[in-house]
Structure 1
Amino acid sequence: MCRFLIYKGRDPILLAHLLTRPEHSIINQSYDSRLRIDTRRPINGDGFGVGYYTPEEDVELGDEPCIFCATTPAWNNMNLARLAEKTKSSMVFAHVRASTAGVLSETNCHPFSFHSFMFMHNGQIANFSQIKRRFSEHLKDEYFCFIQGSTDSEWAFALFLDTLDKLGADPKQSPRPSGFGHAVLRQAMELTIGYIRTWTMEAAVKQEGAVEPSLLNFAVTDGHSVVVTRYITSSTEEAASLHFSTGSKFIEYMPGQYRMERRDRRQDVILVASEPLTFERSDWVTIPTNTILTINNQTVLMHPIVDEFYQPDPSIMRSSNFAASRGLVSPIVEPQAYTNVQLPPLEREGRRRPSVAAA
C-alpha cells in the first residue's frame, strides 16, 4: 500500500518541513514505514509525487496546482530534496507509492490533477479488472479520455469528476474566491464510493464467491476545501490507517524532531496522514473507519458514511486482519478534545463511536 500526506494551513509552509526534514517524514516512510508490516513489499518505492498550489494573488500562475512526480524512489531523488528546500505552499498533497495496480510510470504516480483539482488514493478497488468496463460505460467522454495511466486510482478520480459534473458543478471551472465548497465535494465523493461499492458487489454476485474488500482512502481538493475518506467495503474489517492533527504551529524543536504546537484553540495548521509524522501520541487522532473528513476554512468536519457497511454500535470492534495482510495496521489513538472539530448531529447524539470529543 501507499502513504499520503495533506497539509492545509493559514500560512505557507516550507515543503522540507513535511517531506524531508522530519525524522518520520513521508519520504522516510517510503523506506521506513512503521505501520507497514508487509514483508513481501516492505517499502513504498514505486515512485512519488508532490502537488501544491501557488499564492492566489499571483493570478498569472492560475488555479491549477504544480505537480512534481517521478518513478524513482522518493528517498533517492535529489531534485525533490532541492525543491522541498526552496518551495512554500499553504496546500500540499504528497504521496509515496507501492503499486497494487498499474505499471511503474509517471502517469501512474499520484497526485493526479484536472484543472484546479488534485486527487490521490491509498488502497485498491477489489477486482478492478472485472468492473473497469462499468467505469468506461458510465463516464462522459471528456473524463474517459482524461485518463492517461493504468491505475484503478486514476479511474476513481475520473469517476469523481464525472459525478461532480453530473451534480451541476463543472470541474473545469474554479469558482473564486472559495472554490466549489466542501458540501458538493463531499456529496460527489459519497456518490463515487457508492458507485464503486455497487459495481464491486455486483461483480461478487457474478463470481458466486467471496471477494476481498475494497480499500478506498481517497483525498481530493479544489485548492480551497479538502475531502478525505477512510473507507472499506466491509462491516467487520478496519480500513487502511488514517490520522489527522491540528494546532497553531508545526514546529521543529530538535533536528528532525517535530511536534504540533497548540498555543490557543486555533487550527492554523491541519495535517492528514496515512502515518503520523511525529512520535507524539497526543499530536494525532485516528479517523474512524468509514468516515469522510472535510476541511473547510481551517475547520475539520467528520461525517459517517451510512451504508450497509456502517457500524452504529460503538461496542463492536473491527478486525485489523485484512489491513494487516495488505501491509497495514490500524493502531487506536486515544480520542483528544478539539474544540474546533465539528461533528454532525448523528455523532453528537452518540449513535456512533466518535474519534474526537466535541467540547
Structure 2
Amino acid sequence: MCRWAAYSGEPIYLEHIVSSQTHSLIEQSHHATEAKTSTNGDGFGIAWYGDRPEPGLFRDILPAWSDCNLKSLARQIRSGLFLAHVRAATGGGTRRDNCHPFVHGRWSFMHNGQVSGFERLRRPLEALLCDRLYSARVGTTDSELLFLLALHFGLDRDPVAAIETMLKHVETEADRLGFETVIRFTAAFSDGARLYAVRYASDRKAPTLYSAPLGRGHCLVSEPLNDDRDAWVAIPDGSVVLIEGHEIAVQPFGGWAIERRVPELQLVAK
C-alpha cells in the first residue's frame, strides 16, 4: 500500500508535508506505521497548482528518501493546493509513468489501494475509453486506468458521481466476467479549485485516511504527519471529503454508506 498527503489552503512550502514534519511523507516512505509494508520505495511524485490552470508535476522512480532534488524542490515551491505520493507497487513496474500523481488537463489524481483481478479487467475497461483518453494512458497501473475512467464518466461535470459510477462499473464488469473483485480505494483528486478525497472499499476495509488543520489550510493524509494524535480525525470508511476555500465537509459515499453518520466531521476550518 502507498502513502500520500494532500493540502488545500493558504500557500505553504511543500516541505511542510513532504519533509519537515516528524512523520513526513519522506519519513513514511521508509517507515510507514499504518500500512501492510513499512517501506514505500517504488518511486514518488508531487503535483502542485500555481498560476496556471494545469498542475506542475514531478515524479521519479527513486525512493523518496534518497532523492535530493525532491527535498530541494519542496523547500522552494509554495502552493495553496498540492498532492504528494510515495509508492509501494502492487501492480505495474517501477517506472516513472506508473508513479502517482497522474495528471490530465487541470485534473490531478493519486490513489492508495488495489483492484483484485485487475489483469482480467484491464482490457475490457480500457476498451471503454475514447481515443483521446486511451492515448493519454502511458503507464500500466490500475490507478491510472481508474483515473481515466473517472474522466470518461464525467469527472469534469460531477466529480463525486463520476468516481462512484466508475467504481460501480468496475464491479459490474467483474460480475460479467464471472468473478468477484475486491476494490480498495482511498484517493485524492483535484481540479485546482477544490480538493476531493474518497475512502471506499467493496469489502469495507479501505486504506486509512486522516484529516487535520495545517496552518491556514487543511490536509488529508494516509497516516498522521506527527505525534499529536488528538489533532487528526480518522475519516470513516465510505466517505467523500470536499475542501473548498476554508470549508471542509465529509459526507457518505456510495449506496451502502448512507446509514453511517459523521456529524463531527462536517465542519468549517477557521
Instruction: Give the TM-score, by structure 2 length.
Output: 0.93
Identity %: 32
Question: Aligned pair in 2 of structure 1 residues 216, 23: CA closer, same or farther (>3 Å)?
Answer: same
- In the other structure, the counterpart of 2:96 is 106
Amino acid at match of 1:221: S
Query: Which of 31, 43, 46 is residue 42 of structure 2 equivalent to?
Result: 46
Query: Structure 1: how far apart are the matches of 2:105 and 2:66?
Result: 30
CA deviations 1:69-107 (Å, max 9, x no partner) are 110000000011111111110001000000011001000
Q: Does 1:152 align with 2:119?
A: no
Question: Matches of 1:110 and 1:283 in 2, distance apart?
Answer: 27
More strand by share: 2
Asked if 2 retains the 8 angstrom alpha-carbon contact of 1:286 and 1:355, the reply is no
Task: Output the CA distance in 2 between the equivalents of 1:201 and 1:304.
Answer: 25
1:221 aligned residue (190, 193, 200): 190
Structure 1 residues 200 and 216: alpha-carbon distance in aligned structure 2, compared to 1, 3 A threshold:
farther
* In structure 1, C-alpha distance between the alignment counterparts of 2:254 and 2:32, rounded to whole Å: 31
> 1:25 corresponds to which letter in structure 2?
S
Distance 1:160 1:86, change over 3 A: same
| Aligned mates of 1:355, 1:32 — CA distance in 2 | 33
Note closer, same or farther for the CA distance 1:358–1:139 as it changes in structure 2 (3 Å cut).
closer
Alpha-carbon contact 1:50-1:94 (below 8 Å) kept: yes
CA distance in 2, matches of 1:68, 1:225: 21
Whether contact under 8 Å (2:239, 2:257) holds in the other structure is: no
Find the aligned partners of 1:357 and 1:219 in 2 and give their Cα distance. Answer: 17
User: Structure 2 residue aligned with 1:356, among 240, 264, 267?
Assistant: 264
String of CA shifts for 1:147-192, please: whole Å, max 9, x gaps.
0000010101110111117xxx4xxxxxxxxxx6xxx211212212
Which residues in structure 2 correspond to 1:216-295 (within 5 Å)? 216-234=185-203, 237-246=204-213, 249=215, 268-295=216-243
Q: 1:201 aligns with which of 172, 175, 180?
A: 175
Task: Please list, as runs of the form range in 1=range in 2, the aligned pairs for 1:1-359 lying within 5 A after superposition.
Answer: 1-9=1-9, 11-38=10-37, 42-55=38-51, 62-164=52-154, 169=156, 184-203=158-177, 206-207=178-179, 211=180, 213-234=182-203, 237-246=204-213, 249=215, 268-307=216-255, 310=256, 351-354=259-262, 356=264
User: Within 2, Cα distance between the matches of 1:82 and 1:154?
Assistant: 27
Counterparts in 2 of 1:187 and 1:298: CA distance versus 1, 3 Å = farther
In structure 2, the CA distance between the partners of 1:292 and 1:358, relative to structure 1 (3 Å rule), is closer
The one-letter code sitting in structure 2 at the alignment partner of 1:246 is: P
Distance 1:194 1:43, change over 3 A: same
Partner Cα separation in structure 2 for residue 47 and residue 226 of structure 1: 23
Q: Retained in 2: the 8 A contact 1:285–1:356?
A: no
Q: How many residues align?
A: 267
Q: Secondary structure of 2:165's match?
A: helix
Tell me the distance in 2 between the aligned counterparts of 1:294 and 1:89.
Answer: 18
**Given the superposition, is the C-alpha separation of residues 133 and 358 from structure 1 closer, same or farther in structure 2, using an over 3 Å criterion?**
closer
Could you tell me the TM-score, scaled by structure 1's length?
Answer: 0.71
CA apart distance, 1:36: 2.2
Q: Distance in 2 between matches of 1:196 and 1:163?
A: 12
Q: Which secondary structure state, in structure 1, belongs to the residue aligned with residue 127 of structure 2?
A: helix
The residue matched to 1:164 in structure 2 has which SS?
coil
Structure 2 SS opposite 1:197 = helix
Deviations 1:269-294 (A, max 9, x none): 11000111121122111111111111
Question: Which runs of 5 or more structure 1 residues have no equivalent in the other structure?
Answer: 56-61, 170-179, 250-267, 313-350
Which ranges of structure 2 fall in alignment gaps of 5 or more residues? none
**Cα contact 2:185–2:200 (8 A) shared by 1:** yes
CA contact (8 A) 2:13 2:75 kept: yes
Asked if the contact 2:49/2:56 (under 8 Å) is kept, the reply is: yes
Using the TM superposition, give the Cα deviation of residue 296 of structure 1 relative to its aligned residue in structure 2, in angstroms.
Answer: 2.1
**Comparing 105-114 with 296-305, which one deviates more in the overlay?**
296-305
Relative to structure 1, the CA distance from residue 311 to residue 119 in structure 2 (aligned partners, 3 Å threshold; closer, same or farther) is closer
User: Structure 1 CA distance, aligned partners of 2:159 and 2:56?
Assistant: 21
